[in-house]
Amino acid sequence: MADLLFERALITGGASGIGKATARLFAQEGAVVCIADIDAKGGQMVADEILVEGGLAIFVPCDVTSAQDCQNAVQQTVQEFDGIDILVNNAGIIRRASVVDTTEEEWDRVMAVNVKSVFLLGKYVVPHMVKEGGGAIINVSSGWGLVGGRNAASYCASKGAVVQLTRAMALDHGEHNIRVNCICPGDTDTPMLRDEAQQLGETEDAFLAEAADRPLQRVGTPEDIARAALYLASEASGFVTGTTLVVDGGGLAG
């Protein structure tokens, strides 16, 4: 059991994959959770699952590229839970293409979902955390935010920006006892990873087998990443801020 420093969480992209696993794990550890996602059906299903398991969760429809939607998600979390002190910026998309083959619209969409969302949610959450005396912000980047990857120009650029934005936020808000950290997952078995296979015209089995070529000889699970997020929201990481935690089965080790 983790000793959570904070207990009221807003998780974006919580309808599936890493976001879903994080929402369920946080709820199991005693947090109350707001799931924000553009997928209303999936998000409500996750909230319902948590309620059935004895936890407390709500779902808020949210397009994370919309300032109004982000502000609304924060407001509903605060109203429902009387505050907010954990933010997990998990929502993300990928476009597998070089700069030559990426359209301007695709570039803008990837940057909006992966980077602008972190800015918007931080903008509206931080003032509440300041009032509460602290909080934990966990931004989900990628191993490709630290090293380059082929045919993923917009994704690599966006995830590198998340790493740097994390550092900047940690510097700006540390004096308010707000810790801001970043997780860089390796290939993790989520709907987004399987969508990559389709974008590249590969079979899912072949793509996942190639992705497992790393020291631990497997791809990650959403629960692997959720446990890292739990650590960054817990007392165990009370002196950790501005850091980048790589969770990739050794993929970047060498």
Q: CA-CA distance, 21 to 193, in Å (whole number)?
A: 15
- Domain holding 68, by residue range, is 8-247
Which range (4-13, 102-111, 162-171, 243-252) has the least confidence?
4-13
Q: Residue 254 — very low, low, confident or very high, per pLDDT cuts 50/70/90?
A: confident
Q: Could you tell me how far CA 147 lies from the centroid of its own chain?
A: 19
- Assess whether pLDDT exceeds 60 at residue 124: yes
State the DSSP string of 138-189. EEE--GGGTS--TT-HHHHHHHHHHHHHHHHHHHHHGGGTEEEEEEEE-SB-
78 within some domain: yes
181-213 pLDDT, tens digit each: 999 999 999 999 999 989 999 999 999 999 999
| Active-site position among 81, 155, 207, 231 | 155
Residue 4 confidence (pLDDT) = 63
The percentage of residues in the chain with a pLDDT greater than 70, rounded to a whole number, is 98
Q: CA-CA distance, 242 to 165, in Å (whole number)?
A: 9
Q: What CATH number should be reported for the domain holding residue 71?
A: 3.40.50.720
The residues that bridge with 68 in the sheet, in sequence order, are: none
pTM of the model: 0.96
Instruction: Count how many domains the chain has.
Output: 1
- Assess whether pLDDT exceeds 50 at residue 1: no
253 within some domain: no
96 within some domain: yes
- Assess whether pLDDT exceeds 80 at residue 5: no
- Assess whether pLDDT exceeds 90 at residue 116: yes
Q: Is 155 a catalytic residue?
A: yes
- Assess whether pLDDT exceeds 60 at residue 108: yes
234 within some domain: yes
